[in-house]
Structure formats: structure tokens, C-alpha cells
Amino acid sequence: MENTTTIIQQIEEKRIRVGKLLVFACFFMYATSMAAKGVFAAESKFIKELWQIKNYSLVSMTNTFYFIAYGLVQVILFFIINKINVHKYMICSIPFAAISMMLMGTVNNIYLMWLFFGLTGAFQAGIFCGCTYILTENLPIKLLSFGNKMMNI
């Protein structure tokens, strides 16, 4: 009986260690995706000057395309989240989000920037809800509160 209790405690301790790593990975993934998007907002004045764009509204529309795509995919995910395999969705969408984010560095006009920001918004839309869903499904009960706090910082 004592041996069984020890084994159960060891398993629970390992689940907590792995759970903390999972929380960190989800937080890091979400934070970096939001930070990368913020770089454009911080450099938008420089981009306007570099590409000699006369109207600043053309530059600011880039974030609008991101949020439109992000919002539409969020609404769609709300209705289908229980019908899809969230793990596979995350495995597929995260590399595409990273690729579209990297491709933004290669564009040389604002219209292509709109396209890549829209694609990035669509791919990143599932990262927050997907991470939260995965944490809820996989964390030990002791870590649920911690995971929720980290994802909502």
C-alpha cells in the first residue's frame, strides 16, 4: 500500500513539473506572437517614410486587416472548437503563423503587408484559445488557476 502511494505521488509530481512546462510554453508562444505583431505598430512611422506612403491611414489599415481576420476566425472557432482536434489545429496553425510573420519582413509595399498581416491574424486567432483549451484539458487541477493567470497576463 505504501509503495502504491509513493508511486502515485511521484506521478503527480511529474505531472505538475510537465504542467508548469506546458504553461510556460503556451505563455511564451502567445506572448511572442503578440510581441512580433507589436513591432510593426512601433515601426509604422518608419515604414511610412521608407516606402514613401503619403497617407498614414494606408499604414494603419495593416492592423485593421489583422484584427478583422483574427476576429472572424475567433468567431468561427467559438462554434467549432468542440468539433475539431485542437492539438492538430495548433500544430498546423502555429507554423503558418510563424511563416506569414517572417514573410512580412520580405515585403516591399503596403498592400503585401496587408495580405500577410491578414494571414497572420487568421493563423494567430487560434493560439490563445487553443493554448487555453490545451491547458484546461491537460493540467493537473492544482495548476489550473496558475495556468489561467499566466495566459491572461
| Residue-level pLDDT at 1 | 59
* 68-74 long-range Cβ contacts below 8 angstroms, 24+ apart: 68/118, 68/121, 69/117, 69/118, 69/119, 69/120, 69/121, 69/122, 69/125, 70/121, 70/122, 70/124, 70/125, 71/125, 72/122, 72/125, 73/121, 73/122, 73/125, 73/126, 74/125, 74/129
| Residue-level pLDDT at 118 | 93
Cell 513591432 -> residue: 39
pTM score, two decimals?
0.78
| Residue-level pLDDT at 65 | 92
Rounded to 5°, angle at Cα 78 from 73 and 80: 90
- Mean pLDDT of each 10-residue bin along the chain, 153 residues long: 79 86 85 78 85 89 92 92 88 87 87 92 86 85 86 79
